């Protein structure tokens, strides 16, 4: 089973992607993991990606797609995979489709975890992090025993810059411009599975499994 995860930052697609991968015994593949593995391994593709990153530039779509295609060609992905964070744009989706077509393959589902912007702002602005031990909390869903104090080490908790409402709104704006069109792209191909991401994690996962026929 070949699945692409879609959804805004904070929609919970990473969590659901990992659960899906575990459920079907297929790899969870994120572009960040691919970059790190190739750079650490000193591969040719990794060296090219490192060059762009060192120069403070975005890695071009063609190279990102080459890295992904190289990863999904590995033995552990023979029975499928869950792609998390790729594709992000229409050109990336077209490049992936072309690469898969050459192998006589195609994506089975594009799972879209749908959460309204205001719910994402509330969800992300409630996050708290410990700068000392790395533990993370949420003031509603996973609150520390003492407000703003880490349960693990007693350090003061902070709101990361990425989780501040103004930053979240900016990230959502970028998402709607760049990534939202992917939903239309995969809708046209009849691959989109829309899931209500406002429910709790277990209910979201159950809906995904129900809709993809598990």
> Residues 6 or more apart from 164 whose CB is under 8 A from it?
125
Which pair of structure tokens corresponds to residue 14? 């990473």
Catalytic residues: 13, 88, 127, 160, 171
What order of strands is seen across the sheet that includes strand 28-30? 28-30, 81-84, 2-6, 109-114, 192-196
Instruction: Give CA–CA dist 91/177, Å, rounded.
Output: 14
Which pair of structure tokens corresponds to residue 142? 């996973």
Which letter, b or e, does each residue of 31-55 get, where b requires 16 or more Cβ atoms within 10 Å of its Cβ?
beebbeebeeeeeebbebbeeeeee
């Amino acid at each position: 089973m070949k699945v692409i995860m879609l959804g805004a930052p904070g929609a919970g697609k990473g969590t659901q992607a990992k659960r899906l991968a575990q459920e079907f015994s297929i790899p969870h593949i994120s572009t960040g993991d691919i970059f790190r593995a190739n750079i650490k391994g000193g591969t040719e593709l990794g060296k090219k990606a490192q060059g762009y990153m060192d120069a403070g530039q975005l890695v071009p779509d063609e190279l990102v797609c080459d890295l992904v295609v190289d990863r999904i060609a590995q033995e552990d992905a023979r029975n499928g995979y869950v792609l998390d964070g790729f594709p992000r744009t229409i050109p990336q989706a077209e490049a992936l489709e072309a690469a898969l077509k050459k192998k006589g393959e195609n994506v089975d589902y594009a799972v879209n975890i749908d959460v309204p912007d205001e719910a994402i702002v509330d969800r992300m602005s409630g996050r708290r992090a410990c700068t000392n031990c790395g533990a993370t909390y949420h003031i509603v869903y996973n609150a520390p025993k003492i407000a703003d104090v880490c349960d693990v080490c007693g350090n003061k908790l902070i709101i990361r810059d990425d989780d501040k409402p103004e930053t979240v709104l900016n990230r959502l704006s970028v998402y709607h411009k760049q990534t939202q069109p992917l939903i239309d792209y995969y809708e046209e191909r009849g691959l989109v599975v829309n899931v209500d991401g406002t429910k709790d994690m277990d209910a979201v996962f159950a809906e995904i499994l129900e809709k993809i026929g598990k």
